[in-house]
Amino acid sequence: MSKILVVGNYAPTDVAAFRDEFGVTPLASLTQLAEAARDDCVALAFKGGEPLGGAAMDLLPNLRLIANFGVGYDAISIADADARGIKVTNTPDVLNDDVADLAVAMLISRQREMAPAERWLRDGNWPAEGAYPLARKMSGRKVGILGMGRIGREIADRLAAFKCQIHYQSRSRKETPAGWTYHADPVALAAAVDDLVVSVVGGAETLGFVSAEVIAALGADGVIVNISRGSVIDEEALIAALQNGQIRGAALDVFRNEPKIDPRFLTLPNVLLLPHIGSATVETRARMGALQRQNLAALLAGQPLLTPVN
């Protein structure tokens, strides 16, 4: 019998790989873990937005590894894992390109109003109205990157190629190309730039990081892009700012209450809304799945874990 359990909604290729490589079939959610729990389970493959804390870990008394599908592991209580001597791995780097591509596409799309312009065309307005109203230029804008980690850096490199002036805020100053400007705090960053791209990690340390004050500092011409976690933005403050024209727009791939997002977003014309698709390509999801399974295989083989986080 396999020494691993798998939880989450996986693509058919991952389901097949779990069956072929480990002889297991994924459970849909953590609620099924109680029935499936076994004393001989040493590793848990985890994918999903539901929180994974000490109670679930205690169902598996010999658990040594939680292998997360995804770079962000804010759903997993690392403190609870540490207290039980459980290692946690994630899937970094393999998704950087996709998430950065999407962030830049979201900013361009919002500035150039690609989604509303297409809707306008599909609704048959072109012959009657002649031309869609003018949108805004993206190249050359001053963009603030909140969180200059691996994904933030990929976003900044791409925006630099679009002649944008790069400003950033991070826990520490980074080595960057000449001319990129570091700011010590998010309010100072927002005040210095036209648009803000949020690429910090999720979790308690960044909860509500993009506060009403940050949003106000960005100003009435600003656009906020978020590809990190919904928890990072104060959604009440963001919705109010979008309703009042305190900022010009937003482009969001992540939300506080996924998949049931705040319905007020659906009524706002100045927001691009995407269903958490940052890493959602065939190529990248295959690499994320492979890395998750490599970590599981390494544990079973007594080899060092590839991408530990604790």
Which residues make up the interface to ligand 8YV (CB under 6 A)? 47, 69-72, 95, 276, 278-279
Nearer to ligand 8YV, 161 or 277 (CB): 277
Catalytic-role residue among 118, 205, 236, 258: 258
In the complex, the smallest distance separating the C-beta of residue 29 from ligand 8YV, rounded to whole angstroms, is 13
Nearest approach in angstroms of CB 257 to ligand 8YV is: 15
Question: What is the smallest separation between the CB atom of 47 and ligand 8YV, expressed in angstroms?
Answer: 5
Residue 270, Cβ neighbours under 10 Å: how many? 16
Q: How far apart are CA 224 and CA 252, in angstroms?
A: 8
Q: How far is 13 from 289, CA to CA, in rounded Å?
A: 9
DSSP 52-117: B-HHHHTTSTT--EEEESSS--TTB-HHHHHHTT-EEE---STTHHHHHHHHHHHHHHHHHTHHHH
Least separation in angstroms between CB 69 and ligand 8YV: 5
Annotated active-site residue 167? The verdict is no
For residue 167, give the 3-state DSSP assignment. strand
Q: Which of 183, 229, 248, 293 is catalytic?
A: 229
Alpha-carbon Rg for the chain in angstroms: 21
**Lookup: tokens for 116:** 């509303």
ω into 304 cis (within 30 of 0): no
Please give the torsion angle defined by the CA atoms of residues 143, 147, 148 and 154, in that order, rounded to the nearest 10 degrees: -70
State yes or no: is 229 an active-site residue.
Answer: yes
We find the least distance from the C-beta atom of residue 137 to ligand 8YV, in angstroms, to be 30
Nearer CB in complex with ligand 8YV: 73/194: 73
- Minimum CB–partner distance for residue 60 and ligand 8YV (Å): 20
Per-residue CA distances from 2 to 5, 16, 42, 46, 102 (Å): 8, 15, 9, 16, 38
- Paired tokens of 123: 């609704």
68 or 111: CB nearest ligand 8YV: 68
| Active site (annotated) includes residue 256 | no
In the complex, minimum distance from the CB of residue 8 to ligand 8YV, in angstroms, rounded to a whole number: 7
Q: How far is CA 192 from CA 142, 157, 180, in A?
A: 8, 19, 12
Provide CB contacts within 8 A for 15, sequence distance 6+. 25, 26
Closest Cα to residue 196, out of 167, 172, 158?
Answer: 167
Q: Which residue is nearest to ligand 8YV (CB)?
A: 70
Rounded to the nearest 5 percent, the helix, strand and coil shares of the chain are 40, 15, 45
Q: Which of 150, 158, 276, 287 is catalytic?
A: 276
Which residues are known catalytic residues? 229, 258, 276
